[in-house]
Amino acid sequence: MTVLATDTALLSEDDCYREHYPSTATRGSAELTYKRRSEPITLRGPAGQLSIEIDGDPPAWLSQTANSIAELLWLPRNWDSYNALPIDMARVGSVLRVLLSTLDDRSPAPSVVPLSNGGIQIEWHRNSVDLEIESISANRFGLYFADDESGESLEDEFTTDLSLLRSLVSRLSNMP
């Protein structure tokens, strides 16, 4: 089970949880399946901390993404000289929950961009495809997708239905 916890709140949601494949070992004709809990990843900032615990091996993209987010947590108020807010820990937790529910080990690591309203934006720009997820609030996200080769593009918002995002991430993950 994936658990996201802050100093003040548990940010785990079972309906957004997608189990990672357990490790498997074969002995004779019996197959032994076990899950291993990874070491927690903790993101710290002036507003508190966020811990991520995952059963099994963490996906390849998580370490790079968590490090990028951790750097942004230290941005002070007015970091852009236009009165930008510090990054909101609750919104970070929500974005990580969405990513852990939609990305798998084949998914490329996203870029992470701070937003002046205290949110973060997650982006992929591969070949001629752009995919962006914006944290509008702790429970609402903006989605932008464009494929220059096919001419397909869309903008949408989502809260708990991750089906569209899953299909777009899958397309991105299967690109050469």
User: How confident is the model over 49-106, as pLDDT tens digits?
Assistant: 888 888 888 899 998 999 999 999 999 999 999 999 999 999 999 999 999 999 988 8
Question: What angle (nearest 5°) sits at the alpha carbon of residue 98, between those of residues 143 and 119?
Answer: 65
For residue 17, CA distances in Å to 4, 10, 32, 55, 149 come to: 11, 14, 24, 11, 33
Query: What pLDDT, on a 0 to 100 scale, did the predictor assign at position 36?
Result: 53
Asked whether the beta carbons of 55 and 36 are under 8 A apart, the reply is yes
Query: What pLDDT, on a 0 to 100 scale, did the predictor assign at position 123?
Result: 97
Rounded distance between C-alpha atoms, residue 43 and residue 51, angstroms? 6
Query: What pLDDT, on a 0 to 100 scale, did the predictor assign at position 34?
Result: 37
Rounded distance between C-alpha atoms, residue 144 and residue 33, angstroms? 39
Q: How confident is the model at residue 139 (pLDDT cuts 50, 70, 90)?
A: very high
Rounded distance between C-alpha atoms, residue 101 and residue 95, angstroms? 10
| Residue 110 in this model has a pLDDT that exceeds 70 | yes
What is the residue whose two structure tokens read 């609030």? Answer: 137
Query: What pLDDT, on a 0 to 100 scale, did the predictor assign at position 25?
Result: 38
High-pLDDT (> 90) share of the chain, %: 59
| Residue 1 in this model has a pLDDT that exceeds 60 | no
High-pLDDT (> 70) share of the chain, %: 78
List, in sequence order, the alpha helices (H) in 13-140: 60-72, 89-102
Query: What pLDDT, on a 0 to 100 scale, did the predictor assign at position 81?
Result: 97
What is the mean pLDDT of the segment spanning 162-175?
91
What is the residue whose two structure tokens read 């989605």? Answer: 143
Mean pLDDT score of the chain, rounded to an integer?
81
Rounded distance between C-alpha atoms, residue 66 and residue 52, angstroms? 10
